[in-house]
Structures are given as structure tokens and as C-alpha cells.
A and B are shown apart, each in its own frame.
Chain A
């Protein structure tokens, strides 16, 4: 069993993000139990498991979004390039700039235009962007999110005027505009149709060239299609972690096999 020991990614890949003895709580309720996990640079790591297994909680611990909820707390370490994001003196907003996040439902800011949405995270800190710098960021972000061609003529329209799939890509563009190193996606396709889903999966493999991606999904086919590594969570514990191919074809644990073959969950 891999559950309690440190799990390392194979071969020569460098570790971007790692957790050591990570536990998360909501008040008295323990949602994650002693998770140890390494996430490789420039890869897509999928986190799978049945509803309520702690997938979302796990990634929300990575960028310190877990603590935003009242009564929530974290034990253990999350190491970004070897440094604990929960270490003393580490500023949560600074961590979130390095570890971006896309949520389950598309969440464009309703009072902002498409363009304003893309730069929403950028014009913080009071550093005002010049018009040309802003245009450059908007175009780069939207191109990276494969949305540019669809919206380039309507940048001044509200972000909420787009379709669901477009809105989700707008949110990806918004997250990328901050130039994070890691991108967390929490079931980004669960509200989208198959065509939009396919576009986003395609996008993820492209983005993996420049970013380290963690994809939470309840869709096993998606994990199999779109990821290099897969972590299987059950009841707040990490059951198995390995290369996606191995997890789906030759899992080491009985629970993993039952889950990926659809016998439960």
C-alpha cells in the first residue's frame, strides 16, 4: 500500500508540488488523512475518487483556499519547489498567484467585460497596466485558453454573455494571466457539454508544456485521456498514486481496481 509512505513520481521528473503528512479539517470533521504526494513539473496529474472523497479539499489545500472556509484548518506541509506554503511568514495571496485555480462552475465576474475578466487578477497590487501591456496580456491569455478567435471582436462584452464552455475557458485565461506556475482545475468540465469538454482536455495537454496541472475529476475517462499521473482518493485517504496508464490497466490496490472498472463510485 502506498497510502502512508511518501509516494514519488518515477524517473527523472522533477517535483513541483508535494504534500507531506497533509491532513485537512472542517471543524471536528477530518476530510483528509495524512496525504503524501508528489506532483511532477510540466505534467497533468489527475485526482480521482467518488464524491466526498476529499479531491476538492486536497487541491484547495495546495493553494491555501481550504482555510477560506470558516472553521477549516490544515496540518502537515504543502511544498512548492520545496518550500512550505503554510510556513511562517508565507502570504496566502502570494501562494495563490503561483498556484492558480479554476472552479467547477464557470465564474466570470458578472460586472466585468471579457477583457476586464482576463486582467482581473493582474491589476491588483495597484500596479496599473499600460493600454498596450494590457492588450498583450489579454490576447496571450485568451490564446492560451484557446478562446481568442471566438471572442477577439467582442472583448468589451460582459463575460457572462459567453456560453458555458467559453466562460470556463475565460476563467482559464483569467487564471493564466497571473502567470502561475501550477494550475489547479476542480472538475472544470462537470457543467460542460462533451464538445466543450473535449476542447478543454485538448487545452490541458497543450498547457502542460508550460505549467504543472492538477485536474480533479469524477470522470474516469477524462483522467485516463487527459493525465500523465493519477491519484486515487477514497474516504480522505490516498489509496494509490502512479502513472495514469498503470492506474487504469494494472492497479496495485483492490479498491483502485474496483473504482476504475466501475464497480463502485
Chain B
């Protein structure tokens, strides 16, 4: 009847998203033009960030964003997957449901609260307990060398882990629960223990979804602004030590936008935004490609 109207509405709805994404990209590109013209591609691998001298380079921010979010997702994926497996496969019903809800609630805490907690509670603990402990045990690694400030990369990573673990747990648990029970029963009936069922049947079947959960969480870590800004130390330096302060793309934009007085300064900050945008696209795209390669050949049911 009015089917064409419905299709038109659908097309428009999809087109709108394309338009928005394209619009953001173009706007960022236009905004960063002064900086692109001034520094060209060298912007990507220059470390200087001196607004007074008019020198801008994005490397410390790219480094800070990648290191903080990649280390955070590596830790969060391990912890989160273990928790998700427990909740989905082993926890008794009376424990699993409330525990799952509690973890999901963690995702609802505003990030500024995480930031405050990180600044006032976690960073003193990092300075007095976690840092010295790591230095005493693994101090021979450059990762854990140098003075421990409290605020710095490590604290930012820990806060990010805390913030993205709920995403990993909640999504992974749902993916695990979506594996049909008959698959579990089939493996149990072969004489498998519950752990063997989990490892050999449930996890392989849920692999793609778990990977998706991690990508979702990584996306959140890459773009996280306020909590990171409050605890990372905000210094544009590249240091091998996780105790040293760092800076991320999102943090520097949030911190310095109001002070950007010159066109080139504003352009450089906008270009950082453009980089963040592109980085997110690359991370997501790469994840999709990896996912397809991982589950390759086994999905043509």
C-alpha cells in the first residue's frame, strides 16, 4: 500500500546517519586545515607541543591514547571474560543475577565520579602501594622504572579498566548465555565436565561475540575523556614507564580548547579530534576484519 513511503523513510533514516558521519568528518577536516597546512603529515610524528612557540605535534597524544586504551583492554578482557564465564556458566541463579546487575550498574556510574575516585583514592594507593610493589618485583622492566607520582599512565589505565570491565562482562555474558543449551548438553552427554563444555563448546561458539564486546569496550577506552584527564597527569611526553604522566587525544582537547587563542592552535586541537575520529574508525574496522578472519569458514550453517 504505502510501502514505498516506508522504504523512503528507511532510506532517509539511514542516509541521515551517513550524512552526520560525513558531516563530522568534513567539519573536522575543515577545522584542522590551518594546522594541516602548517605542519603537514609531520604533525603525526612530532613530539613538540608548545602553544607559545606555535609548535604542535600529535605523537605524545596518539601514544598516550593507544597505550592507555590497549593496556586497559588487555587487562579488562582477561578479568571481564573470567567474570562473564563465571556468571553465565557456573554461578548459581541466586548469585548470578544480582551479581550481573551490580556489574552492569558499574557501567552507569558517570565517568567524572570515576575520575574523582581515581584522583582522591586510587592515585594515592598507586603512589604508596601498587607502584612500590611493582617496582620492587618488576622494577627491572623499563615499564616500572622511575619516580612514582600517583597520577600518571598506570592510574589512568586502572581507571579505564574499571570503567570498561562492565561492558566486557555484560556483553560477553549475554553472548555466552545465547549459546543454545542443547550444545552444552551434547557435550555433557559425551562425558565432558562443565569446564570442558565451557572451553570446547561454549567459548568457541561465543568467540565472535566476545571479541565484539572487547571492541566495544576498547572504543569506550579510546574516547574516554574526563576520567582519564583527571588522573593521567596531562603532560605531553612519551615515557617508557607507566608511572610517568602522559596525555591522551581526548584529554588535551578537553583541557586546552578554551585556551586556544591562535588559529593554528585551534587547528591543531581540531586535528587531534580528527585523529581521534579516524583512530576510532580504524580500531573498529580492524576489529571487524579480525573477527571475520577468526570465525572464517565456520559460519556457513
Tell whether A pairs with B.
yes
Bound CA span A94–B189, Å: 10
Stretch with Cβ within 8 A of A (4 or more), from B21-29, B112-120, B178-186, B209-217: B178-186
Contact between chains at A161 and B300 (CB < 8 Å): yes
Min C-beta distance of A78 to chain B, whole Å: 15
Contact between chains at A97 and B93 (CB < 8 Å): no
In the complex, the chain A residue whose C-beta lies closest to that of B200 is A120
Contact between chains at B201 and A109 (CB < 8 Å): yes
Given that A109-B201, A158-B297, A160-B301 are contacting pairs, would A178 and B186 also be in contact in the complex, using a CB cutoff of 8 Å? no
Q: Which of A112, A158, A161, A175 meets B189, CB within 8 Å?
A: A175
B200 to chain A: which residues have CB within 8 Å? Answer: 109, 120, 124
Check if A244 is an interface residue, CB within 8 A of chain B.
no
List residues 101-140 of chain A with CB under 8 A from any CB of chain B: 101, 103, 105, 107, 109-112, 120-121, 124
Which of the four size classes fits the interface of chain B?
20 to 34
- Chain B 193-205: CB-based contact to A (< 8 A → 1; otherwise 0): 1001000110011
A103 to chain B: which residues have CB within 8 Å? Answer: 182, 185-186, 189
Check if A171 is an interface residue, CB within 8 A of chain B.
yes
Contact between chains at A65 and B192 (CB < 8 Å): no
Check if B12 is an interface residue, CB within 8 A of chain A.
no
A-B contact count (CB 8 A): 74
Min C-beta distance of A26 to chain B, whole Å: 15
Bound CA span A158–B205, Å: 13
Contact between chains at A121 and B301 (CB < 8 Å): no
Q: Which of A68, A111, A121 meets B205, CB within 8 Å?
A: A111
Contact between chains at B190 and A121 (CB < 8 Å): yes
Contact between chains at B183 and A178 (CB < 8 Å): no
Contact between chains at A124 and B201 (CB < 8 Å): no
A97 to chain B: which residues have CB within 8 Å? Answer: 190-191
Check if A188 is an interface residue, CB within 8 A of chain B.
no
In the complex, the chain A residue whose C-beta lies closest to that of B201 is A109
Contact between chains at A121 and B191 (CB < 8 Å): yes
In the complex, the chain B residue whose C-beta lies closest to that of A98 is B191
Check if A63 is an interface residue, CB within 8 A of chain B.
yes
- Pick the most buried of A68, A124, A175: most chain B CB atoms within 10 A of its CB: A124
In the complex, the chain A residue whose C-beta lies closest to that of B203 is A111
Check if B187 is an interface residue, CB within 8 A of chain A.
yes
Q: Which of B183, B189, B201, B207 meets A96, CB within 8 Å?
A: B189
Min C-beta distance of A113 to chain B, whole Å: 8
Contact between chains at B201 and A93 (CB < 8 Å): no
- Chain A 156-195: CB-based contact to B (< 8 A → 1; otherwise 0): 0010110000000001001100100000000000000000
Contact between chains at B297 and A63 (CB < 8 Å): no
Contact between chains at A111 and B191 (CB < 8 Å): no
Contact between chains at A175 and B190 (CB < 8 Å): yes
Check if A27 is an interface residue, CB within 8 A of chain B.
no
Bound CA span A158–B200, Å: 15
Bound CA span A124–B196, Å: 7
Q: Which of B189, B190, B297, B301 meets A124, CB within 8 Å?
A: B190
Q: Which of A65, A107, A175 meets B183, CB within 8 Å?
A: A107
A63 to chain B: which residues have CB within 8 Å? Answer: 189
Bound CA span A107–B191, Å: 16
Check if A70 is an interface residue, CB within 8 A of chain B.
yes
List residues 106-165 of chain B with CB under 8 A from any CB of chain A: none
- Chain B 82-95: CB-based contact to A (< 8 A → 1; otherwise 0): 00000000000100
Q: Which of B186, B298, B301 meets A107, CB within 8 Å?
A: B186
Contact between chains at B183 and A109 (CB < 8 Å): yes
The 5 closest A-B pairs by CB, nearest first: A121-B190, A97-B191, A111-B204, A101-B189, A107-B186
A107-B182, A174-B190 are known contacts; what are 9 more A-B pairs with Cβ within 8 Å?
A: A63-B189, A68-B185, A94-B191, A103-B185, A107-B185, A109-B205, A121-B192, A124-B196, A160-B301
Name 12 A/B residue pairs within 8 A (Cβ), A-sorted: A63-B189, A65-B188, A94-B191, A96-B190, A97-B190, A100-B190, A107-B183, A109-B187, A109-B201, A120-B190, A124-B191, A178-B191
